[in-house]
Every structure is written in C-alpha cells, then in structure tokens.
C-alpha cells in the first residue's frame, strides 16, 4: 500500500488539462464530473460506481450519471476500468495520468481486501505472446487472489 499526500487543492495545471480535452470534444465541465475525478485522484484505489455514489453522498450524484461520466472519462483516458472478477466494474485513475502508474492487484478471496501490486510480468512475455499469434496492441490484465493475513487468523 503506497501512502500519498492528500492535497485538498488539486494541481491547477492538471485540472486545466482534462477540462480542456473535455471541452475540445464538446463536453462540459460540471460539478459531478469534477467531484468524481477529484475523488479518484485523491483516493488511489479502484472504486465501483456505487462506492463513488456513497463517497459523494452529500452531493447526491445519480448512478446513471456516474456510469455515463466514467465511460466518458475512460474514453478520454482519464480513468481505467479494473476487473476483479466479481461481476462489478471498478475504476481508478488511469496509469498514464499524473498520479497514476501501471500496477496490478492482490485480492483477498474472503474479505475482498485489495492490495496494490507494483510487480509486473516480463515485457518480453507480452511481446512474445503478441508475436506468436500475430496480434497487435497487446495489453494484459493480471490479478492475484489469496487469503489475507486477517482472514488466515479467522477474523
């Protein structure tokens, strides 16, 4: 788990960046969109749309809006979808965004605790897979599952 300073005041340069690219594609900078992106920038872990709704509770943001916003942000490359295999989507700040970085997850099979993992597969493995089958633009998804220390002790 990496610690990080919780800047309540987001960096102005970054802020302008996404607002600009959103406007360029005839999108509008609304309060909901700002709140959602700020949340994901501040809390560097995967959030389900429901998590986001709960976190923004006082602002009462509709789930449909959250879904639409996340889809838009995904297209803009601001956030990325994380799939931990439990049938619900999660989103976190994109790895190519300021503050984001390429990583994977280790999930407790029992309590669903999520730990960020910075290790990765050898780059050579991915390129070999791509080459051997003639695929292009190959990416990978790697997640680990196990029993966390707490659950081992039957807590």
Q: Does residue 21 interact with DNA by CB under 7 A?
A: no
CA distances from 55 to 70, 99, 136 (A): 15, 20, 38
Where does this chain touch DNA (CB under 7 A) — which range of 55-63, 94-102, 115-123, 136-144? 55-63
Site for its own copies in 27-86 (CB under 8 A): 83, 85
Task: Give the residue, chosen from 60, 102, 133, 153, that forms a contact with DNA under the rule CB under 7 A.
Answer: 60
Element housing 63 (H / E)? helix 63-75
Where does this chain touch DNA (CB under 7 A) — which range of 85-93, 95-103, 121-129, 144-152? 85-93
Under 8 Å between Cβ of 36 and 61: yes
What's the closest the beta carbon of residue 118 comes to DNA, in angstroms? 26
Could you tell me whether strands 104-108 and 114-117 are parallel, antiparallel, or unpaired per DSSP bridges? antiparallel
Partners of 115 in the β-ladder? 106
Q: Does residue 133 interact with its own copies by CB under 8 A?
A: yes
Could you tell me whether strands 89-93 and 79-83 are parallel, antiparallel, or unpaired per DSSP bridges? antiparallel
**What span, in angstroms and rounded, lies between the C-alpha atoms of 72 and 84?**
21
Where does this chain touch DNA (CB under 7 A) — which range of 47-55, 99-107, 128-136, 147-155? 47-55
* Sites of contact with its own copies (CB under 8 A): 83, 85, 87, 106, 108-109, 115, 117, 119, 121-122, 125-126, 128-130, 133-149, 152
């Amino acid at each position: 788990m990496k610690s990080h300073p919780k800047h309540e005041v987001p960096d102005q340069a970054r802020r302008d960046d996404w607002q600009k690219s959103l406007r360029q594609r005839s999108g509008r900078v609304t309060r909901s969109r700002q709140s959602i992106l700020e949340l994901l920038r501040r809390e560097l872990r995967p959030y389900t749309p429901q998590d986001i709704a709960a976190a923004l509770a006082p602002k009462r943001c509709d789930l449909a809006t959250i879904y639409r916003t996340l889809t838009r942000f995904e297209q803009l490359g601001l956030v990325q979808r994380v799939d931990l295999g439990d049938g619900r989507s999660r989103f976190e700040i994109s790895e190519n965004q300021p503050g984001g970085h390429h990583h994977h997850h280790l999930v407790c099979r029992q309590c669903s605790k999520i730990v960020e993992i910075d290790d990765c597969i050898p780059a050579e493995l991915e390129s070999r897979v791509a080459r051997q089958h003639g695929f292009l633009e190959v990416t990978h998804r790697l997640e680990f599952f196990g029993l966390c220390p707490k659950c081992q002790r039957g807590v």
